A and B are shown apart, each in its own frame.
Chain A
């Protein structure tokens, strides 16, 4: 199980990741990357790794069978989206 993660503190919204990994990384309307929430599909792993390497801020990384240990309080997913 492989996940693509982004450190939003390190990210400056340069957008290189979305250029090298189209279909895997999207940019929101402010230009910041949105990465898949769950495990990457096998066919997307190579693109995710390209995104990691391309980032001038080193804000992305790939996590193997990792889990995000932080707890999301209820309600954060009330509008259908929370990182878990």
Chain B
């Protein structure tokens, strides 16, 4: 772990402003901020614990919304059990085009229609196991607004006729588990109507939040990704929704605006800043609020997390927090992660550290991932060290083609995306390394240590 506190690019006034705003009660806060936020108030998570279980006491303090407060604020949850309730919800999903917030941005209505067409006992899952080590927006949301997420989960379960309803968490996220269990106990004590909800803690590894891994684990198998193969009609099915998606569903069902904002985790100089940003906000404006770029513009931004894409700073200046607009130019916020690379840092060395980490997180099930990711990581490492033999870059591009799309899950595709964007965005820098130049500074991104 490489903390970057006290780094020279920090704008201390911005940090100070944000710290104050996050520690104040929501009602006392800046009206403009309050106006934007429909899901949560911003908090800072430590940089130093990325990808590890959180040390008790170092987690950000958050106020959990109680059931009374939740109901006073939003009113009772509508029911989706009968056909009219379900159809109204589906129509609303179509109107606002609610898409998933776990990273893939699949329209919720598409998933629902597929689920309603199929048969076989259905399990509906609220996925709060964030796989991207940089992301903490799902844990933050569950800790601040558990009832909003549980409402969304209940609505989805009712509308789709689920037999089993589950909140799925990372095994090491004890803090979130406590909050969710307390919220469920509160709902039972208040006599809230709705499906029975289980809390299941999966393992803590990187792929424990992958939807096919969750499905397999909930049906008695290991929590590892699988491929959907032609099954028997009537076989058990699992529908996984990200917790932010479900919170937005709960707002939508009450006729509240549900898609005007997006939850982001911005990797700032002092910590990871989880905040809600209005859709269409310029990316630079969002970064300003988290302490960037201070005196010197960053080299670029890693968008979408470790399995995301590098974006040159000039392109960041034109980008907005708008998934559709970003997709039109081949980018994605993924699960809402924005990680700037400060001036002076070496994008090749950062990519080498991240790809080594991603290779170590393979489930080791699929050949192209098991052998391909270490090969990719090795090539990038040699480029970073300026020890690459002739033809290394050509070999790297061939291996990217050989690995893309060939895993059971999309884990290998993340490495392909990251390295592909390094080659296209920082091609000149890669040239320098290929000619033997070396960058001296260390890695500044909070990449978890790779176990050997």
**Chain A: residues with CB nearer than 8 A to chain B?**
7-13, 28-32, 34, 61, 63, 66, 69-83
A75→B104 contact, CB < 8 A: no
A78→B420 contact, CB < 8 A: yes
In the complex, which of the residues B225, B401, B421 contacts A75, with contact meaning CB atoms closer than 8 Å?
A: B421
Nearest to B408 among chain A residues (CB) is A9
Is B451 located at the chain interface by the 8 A CB criterion? no
In the complex, which of the residues A30, A78, A83 contacts B417, with contact meaning CB atoms closer than 8 Å?
A: A78
A8→B397 contact, CB < 8 A: no
A75→B330 contact, CB < 8 A: yes
A-B contact pairs, 30 of them (CB 8 A): A7-B227, A8-B227, A8-B365, A8-B406, A10-B227, A11-B367, A12-B367, A13-B367, A28-B402, A30-B368, A30-B372, A31-B367, A61-B229, A66-B230, A69-B114, A72-B405, A73-B104, A73-B332, A73-B410, A74-B332, A75-B309, A75-B417, A76-B416, A78-B309, A78-B330, A79-B400, A81-B401, A81-B404, A82-B404, A82-B405
Residues of B with C-beta under 8 A to A81: 401, 404-405
A-B contact sample (20 more), CB < 8 A, given A11-B367, A73-B417:
A7-B229, A8-B408, A9-B224, A13-B367, A28-B406, A30-B368, A70-B410, A72-B413, A73-B334, A74-B330, A74-B331, A75-B332, A76-B404, A76-B417, A77-B405, A78-B330, A78-B420, A79-B416, A81-B404, A82-B405
Residues of B with C-beta under 8 A to A63: 230
Q: Mark B221-258, 1 if CB is under 8 A from A, else 0.
A: 00011111110000000000000000000000000000
Number of interface residues of B (CB under 8 A): 44
In the complex, which of the residues B104, B229, B366 contacts A71, with contact meaning CB atoms closer than 8 Å?
A: B104
Task: Say what secondary structure dominates the interface of chain B.
Answer: loop
Min CB distance B412 to A, Å, is 9
A76→B397 contact, CB < 8 A: no
Q: Which of B307-362 contact A (CB under 8 A)?
A: 308-309, 327, 330-332, 334
Is B291 located at the chain interface by the 8 A CB criterion? no
Residues of A with C-beta under 8 A to B304: 73
Interface centre among A12, A73, A80, A83 (most CB of B within 10 A): A73
Q: Which of B403-440 contact A (CB under 8 A)?
A: 404-408, 410, 413, 416-417, 420-421, 424
B368→A8 contact, CB < 8 A: yes
Q: Which of B191-215 contact A (CB under 8 A)?
A: none
With contact pairs A75-B421, A78-B330 given, residues A30 and B406 touching in the complex (Cβ less than 8 Å): no
A71→B106 contact, CB < 8 A: yes
CA distance A79 to B365 in the complex (A): 23
Task: Say what secondary structure dominates the interface of chain A.
Answer: loop
CA distance A81 to B334 in the complex (A): 20
A79→B397 contact, CB < 8 A: yes
Min CB distance A9 to B, Å, is 5
CA distance A63 to B365 in the complex (A): 23
Residues of A with C-beta under 8 A to B400: 79
B401→A79 contact, CB < 8 A: yes
B327→A74 contact, CB < 8 A: yes
Residues of A with C-beta under 8 A to B309: 75, 78
CA distance A79 to B105 in the complex (A): 21
Nearest to A8 among chain B residues (CB) is B366
Nearest to B107 among chain A residues (CB) is A71
Min CB distance A36 to B, Å, is 13
CA distance A16 to B13 in the complex (A): 64
CA distance A34 to B401 in the complex (A): 11
With contact pairs A32-B367, A73-B332, A78-B421 given, residues A8 and B229 touching in the complex (Cβ less than 8 Å): no
A83→B103 contact, CB < 8 A: no
Min CB distance A74 to B, Å, is 5
In the complex, which of the residues A8, A29, A79, A80 contacts B407, with contact meaning CB atoms closer than 8 Å?
A: A8
Residues of A with C-beta under 8 A to B105: 71
In the complex, which of the residues A13, A28, A74, A76 contacts B405, with contact meaning CB atoms closer than 8 Å?
A: A76
8 closest cross-chain pairs (CB), A and B: A8-B366, A75-B417, A32-B367, A83-B405, A30-B371, A76-B413, A78-B420, A82-B405
